[in-house]
A and B are shown apart, each in its own frame.
Chain A
Amino acid sequence: MTDLANAGPGDALAPVLFGPITRTTLALYAGASGDHNPAHIDIDFARKAGLEDVFAHGMLSMAELARVVTRWAGLGRVESLSTRFLAITPVGATVTCRGEVVERFERNGEPRLRVALTAEIDGGVRTLAGEAVLRVA
């Protein structure tokens, strides 16, 4: 775990690369997560719904964004984690997840770090944007 005593705005966290996302990945994530939405695993369902193909669970990318933070700070320091899902992640994509400290502030007299998070797929399309708030101690 990183010593966060002197961490502050501008600090970049080590990125996490995940993928290429295969249909096997999606089948396993569906089973592991309990998200059985057929739009992620059943191409027949996807086509009937007017989609070209199945697409990755947004929550799979959120899991990777979380790893950017927990590898750096440790899970026990994470006070909150949030993401907005901006674009669909297609099968075959490699997701690059990045984090950067954007603010050091105090809550209840204790220091906190705000980390901005983004997930991007090939071609630079941003698929998720979010943030984490971390305890420093």
Chain B
Amino acid sequence: MVPDATVQGNPRGIFDRSTRGARTEAVDFEVEAGRVIFFAETVGETDPIHLDREAARAAGYPDVVAPATFAIVIDLEAGRLIEKRGGMGGLTLINSDFRRLLHGEERYDYGGLVFAGDVLTVQTDVVGFEDKKGGALEFAHLRTLISHPVRGPLVTITRSVLHRLG
């Protein structure tokens, strides 16, 4: 996907391009109902399947249902779990500088719904790096798989983040 020429580097680049092809440790993350409800309320969700256990169960779900972009929570908290254990989450692994970091693209491919109570395995691959605008921007491409031990892959996250190098 990312041509080889793009890994030759950018003299101003900050991302650690030697991490191309690297993979974070796989960690298990438990989806808690309170977190799903807090997230849903914050983004203004009004559908009770995200906000109220009883309503979710009445609609046939085992517990509150994670909203579409809750995948970001699972991903970031999995990264935090890795770091608590002394490892590196995806953004740390590639040497992100938050003073210059912006989000380029975010994509979710869904294999099924996520419910409170799920214990999900999360792992991120560093797909590659790319320079744009004559090296004024450098992009990192990451892919994270969120999977359930029985229901299989539930969300694949494809993300690009970038540094402004001006």
Q: Which residues of A contact B (CB under 8 A)?
A: 16, 18, 25, 28-29, 31-35, 37-39, 45, 48-50, 58-60, 62-64, 66-67, 69-71, 75-76, 78-85, 88
Chain A contacts of B35 at CB under 8 A? 32
Asked whether, in the complex, the Cβ of B109 is within 8 Å of the Cβ of A79, the reply is: yes
Secondary structure class of chain B's binding surface, majority of residues:
mixed
Contact (A80, B109) CB under 8 Å given A28-B42, A66-B68: yes
- CB-nearest residue of chain B to A80: B109
| Among B98, B108, B158, contact of A39 (Cβ-Cβ < 8 Å) | B98
Secondary structure class of chain A's binding surface, majority of residues:
helix
Q: Smallest distance from the beta carbon of A48 to chain B beta carbons, Å? A: 8
Asked whether, in the complex, the Cβ of B73 is within 8 Å of the Cβ of A29, the reply is: no
Chain B residues 90 to 123 lying within 8 A of chain A, measured CB to CB, are: 98-110, 113
Asked whether, in the complex, the Cβ of A59 is within 8 Å of the Cβ of B103, the reply is: yes
Q: Smallest distance from the beta carbon of B75 to chain A beta carbons, Å? A: 8
A31 to B42, CA, bound (A): 9
Q: Smallest distance from the beta carbon of A54 to chain B beta carbons, Å? A: 12
A49 to B97, CA, bound (A): 10
Chain B contacts of A29 at CB under 8 A? 42-43
- CB-nearest residue of chain A to B114: A75
Asked if B45 is at the interface of the complex by the 8 Å CB criterion, the answer is: yes
Q: Smallest distance from the beta carbon of B137 to chain A beta carbons, Å? A: 13
Chain B contacts of A80 at CB under 8 A? 107-110
- CB-nearest residue of chain B to A37: B98
Asked if B134 is at the interface of the complex by the 8 Å CB criterion, the answer is: no
Asked whether, in the complex, the Cβ of B69 is within 8 Å of the Cβ of A62, the reply is: yes
Q: Smallest distance from the beta carbon of A53 to chain B beta carbons, Å? A: 14
**Extra A-B contacts (5), CB below 8 Å, given A59-B72, A81-B68, A83-B106:** A32-B73, A59-B69, A67-B44, A70-B67, A82-B105
Asked if B77 is at the interface of the complex by the 8 Å CB criterion, the answer is: yes
- CB-nearest residue of chain A to B38: A32
Interface core residue of B65, B77, B99 (most chain A CB under 10 Å): B99
